[in-house]
Amino acid sequence: MTLCKLIFRNVKKNLQDYLIYFLTLMLSVSIFYAFNSIENQPALQNLRSTKQLLADQTGIYISILSVMIAVVLAFLILYANRFLQKRRKKELGIYLLLGMKKRKVSGIFAGETLCVGGISLVCGLGLGVILSQGLSLLALRLFAVDIEEFQMVFSTDALRKTVCCFALIFLLASLFNVKAVSREKLADLLNAGRRNDVSILKGKRVHIFFCLTAIACMALSGILIQRYGIIPSRRHPWIQAALALWLVGTVLFFFSVSSAVLKVLQSCSRIYLKKLNAFLCRQLGSRIRTDFLVLAAVSILLTVAVCGVSVGVSAAVTMNEASRAALPFDLNVLADVEISGDTDISVYLSSRGVQMEAYAERMEQISLYEGDLTYADLFEGQKVSLWPIDQEIPKIKVYIVSLSDFNRSLAMQGKEPVSLSEGEFLLNCNYKGTMEYIRAFLQTHETITLNGRALRSAASEPLNETYWMTSVGNNDRGTVIVPDSVIETGSFTKSDNVLLVKYRPDTDSEEVLQKMIPIGLEWETEGYRYTEKNMLNDLYYGAGALMVFLCCYIGLVFLLVCAVLLSLKQLTETADNVYRYGLLKKLGAPESWVNAALTKQIAVFFLAPLVPAVLFSGFAMGKITAVIEEFMNMHIASHTGFTVFLLLLVYGGYFLAACLSCRRMIRKPAGF
């Protein structure tokens, strides 16, 4: 029989063993292709300038992340290949027993790997083309592009990257198989799976020392991240040191913890000798010592997944909530009175070639004033804990606006006006960072003093309106609304004039924006700057798409990889040790004890990498969120419910599936 015929016959005969390996390869190929094909969607090539810039950045980040994903998928494939090789050891040993040379046996295994790899590459590309269309639709939704502009596309660039990447991975897998088979002894191949691994660490003190060192490294890493943040810096390399300590600590933890726990349990005979605990501890110790690098890698990937999904979802929910009421006008132009003077903004725009009357359906100019009231006065007597982006707020003077100007702004939005009696005031606030302090002030203070004049509160709750546009999520930290007579007689300083504009239905917003750009560039000398709805909208959706898409997608991929990896390991290990569970039953152990021991073993393997990942994520998420808040100038509320749901659904689902499958395996009569 020729070598090729033997390879194809073996693939067909061992189809059930190769099925998990094949599915792993196929899914990896499809994910990699779909992820890299998004930037080639034609509908993402014709966006407005702000969105186009962020869409281009998304493509750049995808290319960078593809390298990381390729490494992760290569690890997954090599690991799955290792499982498959272990399942086939006895068969390969029989080939050697029959007189076949190791070189030929290695060639058979390498050929089978390449055969399955080639088939999975073709099938994975077909599935990837389908998945890429769904991901392109998601990208268009995140970038707020009309779905009608979607086009089905086959990305040759993504095809080239996928084929080159996985051809290299398959080649590495084949070389790995050749090397592994050539180093195996015949006795080891024929008796594969019947020996526990021996600990390379001797002595209880050595085990405990390494375990405590691992915990110390991870604790120090968390302390450094809490103190110095999560952004790498050449001047302050503490974050690089923190990440290195985390990686070393994680590896050392899984390298030593099994032996340390085993030594402790052995010293507690009441626990160690109860039911099948002795068998369970030996099994766990053997497997963790063998696969400590795998568990460490899974823990690291889970940390990335938990942080990515939590931060991405929290940002998405917060931005969606903030955007609904943050952009009520199409354009507003602010004039700094100290620089520009107290002028009519529309007249100035006309002098600069922007005939706003030709674009606007309605315009209103309002004025913002300042008195002797600061935010520190509003926060007085309260225990204030401001977010990092708000540390300077107490020093800032509070804006004051007249009742008529505030009502004109509401009228442009189609809202009912508010009313005030003489000697009364209202507070408006729509920023979560100061809302609770503004509300507490109104509930504890009935009066306020502005430039020596006392005013009484007209409501115990602040208004929540956007009366001029600044940014999404961080618009009004607190504004005092007073009757017009207070402004006229109060000797307040006019700080800014704001022109509010609603476009006509046929207005080309891009044309207006292009004319406003030169005016905005002269802010320091002329004193005029603008906020344009479509520009903010594009920035919001573009930044949101970039953040949410990358965080959630990468987090979900890593979570799936971890769940599949652990499930695959448990299925393989259980299949290799069926005879041991059968022997326990023959020795008189009740089936419930055996099932309980198996379930505990699987639970430990799923929980061991998850616990340190969740603990470290708690340290890292706060710092990552702070960076995003500073970049987007808005507070991101924590929404961890979706992450917990995803963990229960994916991670918990694979755990249950692994338990049920492994129990079915040990119910079968064991041959030994």
pLDDT digit string, tens, across residues 247-256: 888 888 887 7
pLDDT at 33: 83
Which range in 92-106, 245-259, 311-325, 458-472 is most confidently predicted, on average pLDDT?
458-472
pLDDT of 661 strictly over 70:
yes
Tens-place pLDDT, residues 580-611: 777 777 778 888 888 888 888 888 888 888 88
Q: Is the dihedral of CA 76, 197, 200, 250 positive or negative?
A: positive
Share of the chain above pLDDT 70, in %: 71
Instruction: Check residue 553 and give its pLDDT.
Output: 67
Residue 85 has pLDDT above 70, yes or no: no
Asked whether residue 207 carries a pLDDT value surpassing 50, the answer given is yes
Residue pair 562/570 in contact (Cβ under 8 Å)? The answer is no
The upper half-sphere exposure of residue 657, i.e. CA atoms within 13 Å in the direction of its Cβ, equals 14
Amino acid at residue number 446? E
Q: Is the pLDDT of residue 524 over 80?
A: yes
Q: What is the predicted pLDDT for the residue at 196?
A: 46
pLDDT at 536 over 70: yes
Higher model confidence: residue 313 or residue 184? 313
**Separation of alpha carbons 531 and 612, rounded Å:** 45
Q: What is the DSSP letter of 463?
A: B
* 8 A C-beta contact, residue 49 and residue 15: no
Name the strand (E) or helix (H) holding 499: strand 493-503
Burial of 501 (0-12, 13-18, 19+ CB in 10 A): buried
Predicted local confidence at residue 467, as pLDDT: 94
Question: For 365-402, how does the pLDDT look when each residue is reduced to its tens digit (9 = 90+)?
Answer: 999 999 999 999 999 889 888 877 788 899 999 999 99
Give the E-state strand segments of 381-476 in sequence order: 397-402, 424-428, 447-450, 453-457
- Long-range own/partner contacts, residues 244-249 (CB < 8 A, 24 or more apart): 245/217, 245/218, 245/220, 245/221, 246/217, 246/218, 246/221, 246/222, 246/616, 247/300, 248/217, 249/213, 249/214, 249/215, 249/216, 249/217, 249/218, 249/221
Q: What integer pLDDT is reported at residue 182 of this predicted model?
A: 67
pLDDT value of residue 199: 47
Model confidence at 321, in pLDDT bands (50, 70, 90)? low
Fill in the DSSP letter of residue 449: E
Q: Which three-class secondary structure state does DSSP give residue 383?
A: coil
pLDDT at 624: 76
| Residue 130 structure tokens | 């389908």
The DSSP call for residue 417 is: P
Q: Would the CA dihedral through 174, 178, 180, 184 be positive or negative? A: positive
Residue 434, SS3? helix
d(CA 239, CA 245): 10
pLDDT at 4 over 90: no
